[in-house]
Structure 1
Amino acid sequence: MIKKLLFTVFLCSILALSVHAQSLRGRVLDQSSSPLIGAYIIHSDSENHAHTNGSGYFVLSGVNTGDVLQVSYVGFETQTIVVEDLSKEVTIRMKEAAIELGEVVFNQEVNPLISLSRIDLKVNPVNTSQDILRKVPGLFIGQHAGGGKAEQIFLRGFDIDHGTDINITVDGMPVNMVSHAHGQGYSDLHFLIPETVERVDFDKGPYNADKGNFATAGYVNFQTKRALEKSSVSVQGGSFNTVRTVGLFNLINEKKNNAYIAAEYLASDGPFEASQNFNRINLMGKYGLTLDDGSDISVLASYFTSKWDASGQIPIRAVESGQITNFGALDDTEGGYTSRTNIALNHTKLINDRLFIKNNVYYSTYDFELFSNFTFFLEDSVNGDQIRQGETRALFGAESQLTYSNEFSGGEYALQFGVGLRNDDSRDNELEGTKNRDSIRFVTQRGDITESNYYSYVNFDLYLNKLRINPGVRVDYFSYLYQDKLTPEYDPQSLTAAVFSPKLNFIYTVNDNVQVYAKSGIGFHSNDTRLVLERPNNESILPRAFGADLGGNFKLMPRLIVNGALWYLRLEQEFVYVGDAGIVEASGRTARRGVDLGVRWQANNWIYFDGDFTYSYARSIDDAEGENFIPLAPRITTTGGLSFEKDGFAGALRTRYLQDRPANEDNSVIAEGYTVLDLNASYSFNAFTIGFFVENLLDTDWKETQFDTESRIRLADGSLEPSPVSEIHFTPGTPFNFRGFIRFTF
């Protein structure tokens, strides 16, 4: 009898093990097959839950056939699904719905700013490549060369110039150019068509192990759309003879097979008295394929070319004397040409319940030519000081990232390991003196640069109930090679260097409405190859940045979200490569601290408000008090706007404010701040959308970029100034301008 009882218990145990709850693997996508990051999947009975990762994949444990799950994501309809087959990966496609801030919940796995930035992008669509960068709260930009040159960037007390302290990528492909002819980290984002952007992933500070060079003030990754739901053609036209046409064409949109192409053409004379003769062509194609084994592959190919004329940065004295107007020029032969061709391959696969792999490979070719004249007749009183900077570059890179996750009795953990490389080969990287873009008067620099970056990182996430502990470490190894073509013989210089970057972050999610964090980490920005080889014994070849953040995200009301942070960032060394002169300035150690504050409020179903405030205090550590200001470092910035969408009508009133800031080290020269107001509105009916954009609604007289520069100019009577003058040189901000548009969707 006892034997029969034991045998029965044994059989029951075997049966129980055979039907125990398993794990469900899947992916959450939108209707165009783009992955949704941070989608919430919850088991209706047990309340076990999971969130999708950076490629939209999830694994939910404790699931049986027939169980009911709920899938939700802000801006999409909540779906209820019944588990049918645990042996197969499930694909869940979400349908868009009206934005509802009440659906936002904070969790440990996903940065809530990603969800909020997606909302910002939806309620305030971008219309120019400049607008894309403005989607990062607290980031300001300025254009000072006819619209074709990369923007000047300001963030967290940094005048980042064109990208020295922010890591910018598109689909994992780097935008920053190392050892560039015009300056370290030069980031020209104009090859990205704004309408193809699906989401903006960003973070501030050096706290992410998978982000390396230039990720000191922060990083930004733009993810393009996987596919299109519909095709569209739009035409814009307006002030300054501006014309812009964009076409997005859906070629394939099946469950496992997607393809589209996009094209943009932009032409404008600009607001200046001398026409900018600006035109840009962008072509892009993207193909995506999901294989039966769960692998997801996407291929992006693009081509971009742009050319322009520019009126340059003009001295205030020339305007105040009446010699020229705000939109006049002392040398209207500035300008340039640039082009870039890209191909990028991305591959992801959920290998099993615990293992996920992500790979990307990219190759770019790049051409650049820029003519500038910043000092006019300071150096050459006869021919002037115009310079030409140029290069031809090939850029190649690859990265592989493996993530393993598991559970234990007290929580969960995830281990992420990545390896990668990047190689830049810049040919005929040169600086020359020219006249009227024609005759070469002298050559200051000309050479071939090869710079390679090999790296590896480990990122560990430990989830203990409501606490996430995130230590990480990154190692970067650089190889520098330079052949100076101005030397009589072939004698390449070479050097290698490495940097070690640890991180440690704590994120505590009190509940769905409150999350606080403390972040710390070390990052770095590399320096120009030519500088590195000039100072081979300098321990700051790869100067480090030490950062700390203390902040939180708070849902104070169902439709009111506030986020804020106190932060500190210290740079071991700021080497500023002055590409305009082909020299390097060492500005020593610096420290910055400040406050970031953001607000998102939904008044009702169709009115949405967003606002971001930043305060930064930036000083040089090694200079005397009163002489330790960091030129052009922003102090107070504010951006915000009110958006609406109802019954086919949509629009927004937006403003941005930049406070006065020091233009030199002793604060005796001030770069004037400004407030600019923009307006847009549209109406959609059937397959058509008509609307308009107004930039600088109040026609504010403002200076978009400013520099304290010493120059010598030729006066109206043809004579030269008796001596050089140092003062603010500026590019005027665009005056009131109007553009109307019509879009047809099919």
Structure 2
Amino acid sequence: MYSFCLRAGSGALAWLATFGSLLLLAFSTAAQTGKPATATLRGTITDSVSGRPLPGMSVQLVGSSNGTSADALGVFRISRLPAGTYTLRASALGYRARTTTVTLAAGETKTIDFAVAAVALQLAEVTVAQPRDLNQSVSAIAGIDRQLRPVNSAQDLLRLVPGLFIAQHAGGGKAEQIFLRGFDSDHGTDFAVSLDGVPVNMVSHAHGQGYADFHFVIPETIEQLRVYKGPYTARFGDFATSGAGEFTTKTSLEQSQAKVEVGRFDTRRALLMVDLTGKNGHLFGHKRPESAYVASEYMFTNSYFESPQHFKRFNGLAKYTGQLSDRATLALTGSHFTSAWDASGQIPERAVHGGLITRFGSLDNTEGGSTDRTNANAQLTVDLPHNAVLTQQVYYARYHFNLYSNFTFFLADSVQGDQIRQNEARNLLGYRGTYERDIALGRRTLRTTSGLGTRLDDVTLALSRAYRRTVRDTLVSGRVQEQSVFAWFDATLPVADRFTVNAALRADYFHFRFREDRYDSLSGRAGKPRVSPKLNLYYQLTPAVQLFARSGFGFHSNDARSVVMGAGKALPRAIGYEVGSNFKPLPSLVVNVAVWALHLQDELVYVGDEAVVESAGRTRRFGVDLGLRHQLSSSLFADVDLNLNHGRAVGAPKGQNYIPLAPSFTSIGGLTVKRPGGLSASLRYRHLDSRPANEDNTVRARGYFIMDAVASYTQRRYQVGFSIENLLNADWNEAQFDTESRLQGEKESVSELHYTPGTPFFVKLNGSLFF
């Protein structure tokens, strides 16, 4: 089933895992002699009611920059502490902070466990000092949003990224179009997405470079989101130009849950999440902490189009996390996703204005497709005895994709039409190892992270002409084998009490190979390295004001088919920089502001019906991001994100240098009520301004303003609620493109705006039982 390249790649994974262990562990022998005996603090943080571990909770030495965060099992460790008395503070959004004082003797290891109580969110307790992960651009903002913003779907998870907009244009089954910081990232070309460290973006995909289908995620299983804007973080490589989003699934469940949702347009969804750990907190009766759960969902809808969409999706997930020893934690995750749908496609404005179809009609209702993805992920984390952590991860995904589209109708074929089929089967394997170590430098602590890894994609894909989902002939078919090897080093040093420097270097090497089934002229191979330095500065002006300046090089890869044919640059470089501040002008008001710029060496445009990626040349963008989170009373919160973006092509004549579909102004905001008795509600808006749909701005994509509402009532054993999308029932266009097409009977083609209509007024009810 696998070729030599895949077998060789699998061997490379095993070799790299072994070599990585030896290389990363080799660092552990350095700087161990001649040091005075130091002490260690360790412990576990749990919820005081449920007893479940609280991963990611901050643990800080009060009055010091030294601190850490709890791992997947709620375990923390702070080492290399001189003998003395310390005040330790454990805190997280939504939990009452706990503080304790401890005296350590030289060479002593002391264990302190925290059981913390959940409390109503208070923004006065939020700190704007960056966490251990300095380059997480909007850490405080993202943490607040995760608690306040309602999440009802996988699409809503992506919307948690401040300033990120999405657009769906294939009936809900295809990956969304992503907009962020002046980028139309198509389906992920310039925004990297990962889940538990497993990449979501697909290289050399049958439909588009960087294709990031997030529908295999069950929203109720997500525990954490880390948001990074710009190419400033070393552990992100391909696609992380405008930014990156790291999603993490829950380690354990507070309780099991059964949920049912019903809504307009024959919409229904069922969810079941079951805790397997048991009342004693152990799956197999072990004394050490462990947790396990399973989750599954099924969804069906006919959607709001005149042609029923018959959209159905199934997701299943199983996760186990266990502490193998006092120093080692193992996490195992497996999941499976499958989906199928019919679609109405994008429609031209003239067909609606001329009365040929309505806004929700279709010119080819045989569009649609199917897809599935199976994932396996294993991660081993080991606390080493010299204040270091070694993490090794291996993952595998099996993926299928089959899509029928018709963008141009009868432009190329006036009889049978222009429907195409894009399909692929993919094996994705990867390894990543990271070695984190804190090194004492006098009174300062140098925090270092080293990493290396590889990723191998083995893809069989094809582009064919079709008629009503029957393949007529194949245009391109072949096999892509693309492998990347990468390494990075990241160092953070507080050079003064308030001033911190973060510097990093990342190196990537990509090997591309494409073998066309029939035409040797389309086949070939190529290799390309890329080195990306980063430099970031942070200054804590006051406890309520932090200033930052960030800079870095990044890149996104091109489709292997284009690379081997010399049709585009393999790894176009991005250069980004920004200055800004996280601050609290009032105890209950958190503000994030950044002024940024990004230069891209080559803007890639995917031409789906020709299976090629075209080069649009160099571009530059700059803009301003502003985010505010305000607690108006004990139970009323307001939030708003404003994003102003300006982008142009470099070298093109003025007036013909617009970047198609690049957003110029976006805004998201709303009001949220969270009452102690279990009632919560949110009224939200999102606004995307009108923008050029082509290079000379003669066709414009239409902006929109949409309002949504969500409410729920939660008690210990049940929850009921509803959600309303497009509360005002506005007519709006979701996905929009300037496309040349010809309708049946037309003598000449027309280039104009084609769009997918957005959701009309849509209400959905939900009810849950907890057990």
Normalising by structure 1, report the TM-score.
0.93
Aligned residue number for residue 152 of structure 2: 127
Aligned pairs for 1:308-347 within 5 A: 308-347=341-380
Report the Cα offset of residue 120 of structure 1: 1.1
Specify whether residues 76 and 152 from structure 1 end up closer, same or farther in structure 2 by C-alpha distance, changes over 3 A only: same
Three-state SS of the structure 2 residue aligned to 1:366 is strand
Three-state SS of the structure 2 residue aligned to 1:117 is helix
Determine the C-alpha separation between the residues in 1 that align with 2:339 and 2:638.
36
Matching residue's letter, 1:293: D
Determine the C-alpha separation between the residues in 2 that align with 1:67 and 1:579.
61
Q: Is the 8 A contact 1:568 1:592 kept in 2?
A: yes
Aligned pair 1:404/2:437, yes or no? yes
Q: Is the 8 A contact 2:524 2:565 kept in 1?
A: no
Aligned residue number for residue 71 of structure 1: 90
Aligned pairs for 1:90-105 within 5 A: 90-105=112-127
Q: Is the 8 A contact 1:48 1:62 kept in 2?
A: no
Matching residue's letter, 2:519: T
Aligned residue number for residue 458 of structure 1: 489
Which is further off, 372-381 or 23-32?
Answer: 23-32
Specify whether residues 32 and 243 from structure 1 end up closer, same or farther in structure 2 by C-alpha distance, changes over 3 A only: farther
Report the Cα offset of residue 370 of structure 1: 0.1
Aligned residue number for residue 395 of structure 1: 428
Q: Is the 8 A contact 1:704 1:732 kept in 2?
A: yes
Q: How many residues align?
A: 718
Matching residue's letter, 1:75: G
Aligned residue number for residue 450 of structure 2: 417
Matching residue's letter, 2:625: D
Given candidates 270, 276, 281, the residue that maps to 1:251 is 276
Given candidates 472, 494, 509, the residue that maps to 1:477 is 509
What value does the CA root-mean-square deviation take over the aligned residues? 2.2
Q: Is the 8 A contact 1:368 1:390 kept in 2?
A: yes
Specify whether residues 456 and 49 from structure 1 end up closer, same or farther in structure 2 by C-alpha distance, changes over 3 A only: closer
Determine the C-alpha separation between the residues in 2 that align with 1:73 and 1:353.
27
Aligned pairs for 1:166-565 within 5 A: 166-252=191-277, 253-254=281-282, 256-427=289-460, 429-438=461-470, 440-464=471-495, 465-487=497-519, 493-535=524-566, 540-565=569-594
Report the Cα offset of residue 388 of structure 1: 0.1
Q: Is the 8 A contact 1:114 1:200 kept in 2?
A: no
Determine the C-alpha separation between the residues in 2 that align with 1:173 and 1:19.
41
Q: Is the 8 A contact 2:187 2:211 kept in 1?
A: yes
Determine the C-alpha separation between the residues in 2 that align with 1:414 and 1:454.
24
Specify whether residues 466 and 53 from structure 1 end up closer, same or farther in structure 2 by C-alpha distance, changes over 3 A only: farther
Aligned residue number for residue 725 of structure 1: 750
Determine the C-alpha separation between the residues in 1 that align with 2:386 and 2:41.
8
Determine the C-alpha separation between the residues in 2 that align with 1:676 and 1:156.
20
Report the Cα offset of residue 125 of structure 1: 3.3
Which is further off, 693-702 or 289-298?
Answer: 289-298
Three-state SS of the structure 2 residue aligned to 1:177 is coil
Specify whether residues 54 and 578 from structure 1 end up closer, same or farther in structure 2 by C-alpha distance, changes over 3 A only: farther
Determine the C-alpha separation between the residues in 1 that align with 2:719 and 2:181.
38
Three-state SS of the structure 1 residue aligned to 2:139 is helix
Specify whether residues 623 and 733 from structure 1 end up closer, same or farther in structure 2 by C-alpha distance, changes over 3 A only: same
Three-state SS of the structure 2 residue aligned to 1:317 is helix
Given candidates 677, 688, 702, the residue that maps to 2:707 is 677
Determine the C-alpha separation between the residues in 1 that align with 2:724 and 2:156.
14
Specify whether residues 64 and 471 from structure 1 end up closer, same or farther in structure 2 by C-alpha distance, changes over 3 A only: closer
Q: Is the 8 A contact 2:523 2:565 kept in 1?
A: no
Report the Cα offset of residue 609 of structure 1: 1.2
Three-state SS of the structure 1 residue aligned to 2:610 is coil
Q: Is the 8 A contact 2:261 2:764 kept in 1?
A: yes
Aligned pair 1:744/2:769, yes or no? yes
Report the Cα offset of residue 21 of structure 1: 6.9
Q: Is the 8 A contact 1:42 1:71 kept in 2?
A: no
Aligned pair 1:23/2:40, yes or no? yes
Aligned residue number for residue 19 of structure 2: none
Report the Cα offset of residue 271 of structure 1: 0.1
Determine the C-alpha separation between the residues in 1 that align with 2:392 and 2:381.
6
Q: Which runs of 5+ in 1 are unaligned?
A: 1-17, 715-719
Specify whether residues 75 and 89 from structure 1 end up closer, same or farther in structure 2 by C-alpha distance, changes over 3 A only: same
Given candidates 150, 175, 180, the residue that maps to 1:155 is 180
Q: What do residues 477-499 of structure 1 show as CA deviations (whole Å, max 9, x unaligned)?
A: 0111111102379x962221111
Q: Is the 8 A contact 1:182 1:580 kept in 2?
A: no
Report the Cα offset of residue 29 of structure 1: 5.3
Aligned pairs for 1:46-65 within 5 A: 50-52=67-69, 57-59=76-78, 62=81
Report the Cα offset of residue 282 of structure 1: 0.2
Report the Cα offset of residue 441 of structure 1: 2.0
Determine the C-alpha separation between the residues in 2 that align with 1:314 and 1:642.
35
Matching residue's letter, 2:618: R
Q: Is the 8 A contact 1:376 1:713 kept in 2?
A: yes
Three-state SS of the structure 1 residue aligned to 2:124 is helix
Three-state SS of the structure 1 residue aligned to 2:96 is coil
Aligned residue number for residue 583 of structure 1: 612
Report the Cα offset of residue 450 of structure 1: 0.5
Q: Is the 8 A contact 2:39 2:109 kept in 1?
A: no
Given candidates 594, 602, 627, the residue that maps to 2:656 is 627
Specify whether residues 32 and 664 from structure 1 end up closer, same or farther in structure 2 by C-alpha distance, changes over 3 A only: farther
Q: What do residues 418-467 of structure 1 show as CA deviations (whole Å, max 9, x unaligned)?
A: 0000000001x1100000101x2221110011000000001111112211
Aligned residue number for residue 128 of structure 2: 106
Q: Is the 8 A contact 1:712 1:721 kept in 2?
A: yes
Q: Is the 8 A contact 1:679 1:695 kept in 2?
A: yes
Matching residue's letter, 2:373: R
Determine the C-alpha separation between the residues in 1 that align with 2:175 and 2:549.
34
Report the Cα offset of residue 566 of structure 1: 0.4
Determine the C-alpha separation between the residues in 2 that align with 1:369 and 1:498.
32
Q: What do residues 378-426 of structure 1 show as CA deviations (whole Å, max 9, x unaligned)?
A: 0000100000000000000010000121222352211211000000000
Which is further off, 157-166 or 68-77?
Answer: 68-77
Q: What do residues 270-306 of structure 1 show as CA deviations (whole Å, max 9, x unaligned)?
A: 0000000000000001000012232111111000000
Aligned residue number for residue 3 of structure 2: none
Q: Is the 8 A contact 1:697 1:736 kept in 2?
A: yes
Determine the C-alpha separation between the residues in 2 that align with 1:216 and 1:640.
25
Specify whether residues 173 and 205 from structure 1 end up closer, same or farther in structure 2 by C-alpha distance, changes over 3 A only: same
Q: Which runs of 5+ in 2 are unaligned?
A: 1-34, 283-287
Q: What do residues 161-187 of structure 1 show as CA deviations (whole Å, max 9, x unaligned)?
A: 000001110000000000000010000
Three-state SS of the structure 2 residue aligned to 1:195 is helix
Q: Is the 8 A contact 2:141 2:590 kept in 1?
A: no
Q: Is the 8 A contact 2:577 2:598 kept in 1?
A: yes
Report the Cα offset of residue 49 of structure 1: 5.0
Report the Cα offset of residue 690 of structure 1: 0.8
Aligned residue number for residue 709 of structure 1: 739
Q: Is the 8 A contact 1:32 1:226 kept in 2?
A: no
Aligned pair 1:637/2:691, yes or no? no
Determine the C-alpha separation between the residues in 2 that align with 1:571 and 1:739.
42
Q: What do residues 522-545 of structure 1 show as CA deviations (whole Å, max 9, x unaligned)?
A: 000000001110118x7x321100
Matching residue's letter, 2:175: A
Three-state SS of the structure 2 residue aligned to 1:507 is strand
Determine the C-alpha separation between the residues in 2 that align with 1:357 and 1:599.
37
Aligned pair 1:689/2:719, yes or no? yes
